Amino acid sequence: MEKRVLCLLTDGFEEIEAVTPIDLLRRAGIGVTIASLKDGVLTGRCGIRVEADELLDAVNPADFDLLLIPGGPGVGDLRADGRAAELAKRFDAAGKCVAAICAAPLVLMDAGLLKGRRFTAYHSVRAELGGGLEERVVEDGNLITSRGAGTAMDFAFAIITRLGGEDLAERVAEEIMA
| Annotated catalytic residue 102 | yes
The torsion defined by the Cα of 110, 111, 114 and 120, in degrees rounded to 10, comes to: -60
Q: Name the active-site residue from 7, 46, 97, 102.
A: 102
Q: Which residues are catalytic?
A: 102
